[in-house]
Chains A and B, each alone.
Chain A
């Protein structure tokens, strides 16, 4: 039992406990904030696996970006104050079904992982930082993927703005009629 093991089990405990909270919590807000601890635990794992750049990216993108987005989503889709934020599972049968499937998957994957003979090549020399290597290969070997990812992000940005836009750009007749009648009523009032 060395220091690394202790830290590993600490992070594993954080990940599993908070992940369980995400999955089982009835309050969506609690689930969202539990997800934060899961992501932090994973960042800790990445740092232990000597990829510090990924660890910090995890914190930056997941915690600072996606999680905030999710929390805003929660706030926008539930009327925030005065309304129950609780949500239940779909049904008891479904609950049992899901539990069974996930237990089977967990056990199966674990068995698979423990029984496989992985080619294990521990890194002999601990690199100073993985950031130089990542930057180099991103702009040489993976330049196409890099550009595609950039375009993907742009498309996602535009698409998200378009989908969530309140006034639909392509109006059907019915909806436009509805809007106009609403306006009329407002004016009359």
Chain B
């Protein structure tokens, strides 16, 4: 069978679902962040698959590039927030962080 657009899209769907699963179930904030990265990557895969097969061409690739840039910025900020949480609570469990201010 020839590999086409649908194959890539299904892989991206699976990746997306796994990211959602991680965000819903995991306790540790860093693992939630990893789930987020999975979701972003799934979106990226879609962009590039469409760039190749759907006639999106360079535009798709550039969108993916910006997604990567934003993912980098987002993970830096998210990790700094997580570090801050760790300094205040001495853990990073998302379900036990209840207050925004001491």
Q: When A and B form their complex, what is the total count of cross-chain residue pairs whose Cβ atoms lie within 8 Å?
A: 238
Given contacts A1-B1, A49-B48, A137-B58, contact A88 B68 (CB under 8 A): no
Could you list some 29 contacts between A and B, CB below 8 A? A5-B1, A15-B11, A16-B11, A16-B14, A22-B35, A31-B31, A35-B37, A42-B44, A45-B48, A54-B61, A62-B37, A66-B37, A70-B75, A73-B82, A74-B30, A77-B82, A87-B93, A90-B25, A90-B95, A94-B25, A98-B25, A99-B21, A105-B20, A109-B13, A118-B5, A133-B58, A134-B62, A149-B69, A164-B83
CA distance A164 to B81 in the complex (A): 7
Interface residues of B in 15-48 (CB under 8 A from A): 15-22, 24-31, 33-35, 37-38, 41, 44-45, 48
* B6 and A70 contacting across the interface, CB-CB below 8 Å: no
Contacts of B64 in A (CB 8 A): 51, 54
Contacts of B71 in A (CB 8 A): 61-62, 66
CA distance A46 to B65 in the complex (A): 12
Using a CB–CB distance below 8 Å, which chain A residues touch chain B? 1-2, 4-5, 8, 12, 15-16, 19-20, 22-23, 28, 31-32, 35, 38-39, 42, 45-46, 49-51, 53-54, 57-58, 61-62, 65-66, 69-70, 72-74, 76-77, 87-90, 94-95, 97-99, 101-103, 105-106, 109-110, 113-114, 118-123, 130, 133-134, 137-138, 142, 145, 149, 152-153, 155-157, 159-164, 166, 172, 174-175
| Residue on A nearest B51 in the bound complex, by CB | A51
- Interface residues on chain B, number (Cβ under 8 Å): 74
- Residue from the list A57, A89, A175 in contact with B68, Cβ < 8 A: A57
* B10 and A110 contacting across the interface, CB-CB below 8 Å: yes
